[in-house]
Amino acid sequence: MRMVYFEDLEVGADYMGPECLVDEKEMLEYNRRNDPWPIHVDEAAALQAPFGGVIASGGFTITLSYRLSHGVYNTPDAQWAFLGGFDWRVKFPAPVRAGDALRYRLTVLSKKSSSKPGRGVATIRSRLTNQRGEVVLEVEAVILMATRPGDL
């Protein structure tokens, strides 16, 4: 398996992940357990809300993003030398609904060497889009990655 190190990242590069269908049963189970607001669990109440029906919890949407991100970070062919993430900026521009087909995309916005040896800092933007091309989740995050061994 090939390792993707900090040096391998190119500013402006896009990485496309897989697609998933939002399973209604899984979504409702997550919503009921973790975020039981009426817009997430009660069809009658949700029909009266601005979204016109039950929508996924933000936590569930982030969970799907994590799941799909492994199609970029951690594949049978390549694994990123990821050390951690911090400083998230999260937006939910459109709701996620059962049956939506979501796709993951990561873009490298910037990168710089860390003041500590063996690591670098990159700013990335992750987006989930639905089958209509609408962005349903956007996360801009600063991540820490290992540099190639011997490049200390």
pLDDT in tens, 18-55: 999 999 999 999 999 999 999 999 999 999 999 999 99
Locate all alpha helices (DSSP H) within 51-107, ordered by sequence: 58-73
Name the strand (E) or helix (H) holding 7.
none
Query: Given its phi and psi angles, is residue 50 left (phi above 0), alpha (psi -120 to 50 degrees) or beta?
Result: alpha
The answer to whether the predicted template modeling score (pTM) of the entire model surpasses 0.85 is yes
Per-residue DSSP letter, 147: P
pLDDT at residue number 86: 87
Give tens-digit pLDDT for 84-127: 998 999 999 999 999 999 999 999 999 999 999 999 999 999 99
Task: Evaluate if residue 152 carries a pLDDT over 50.
Answer: no
Gap between the Cα atoms of 99 and 2, Å rounded:
35
Neighbours of 45 (CB within 10 A): 13
Pick the CATH number of 2-146 from 3.40.640.10, 3.10.129.10, 3.30.70.270, 2.102.10.10: 3.10.129.10
**Structure tokens that stand for 31 in this block:** 């919503």
Going by pLDDT thresholds of 50, 70 and 90, the confidence category of residue 151 is low
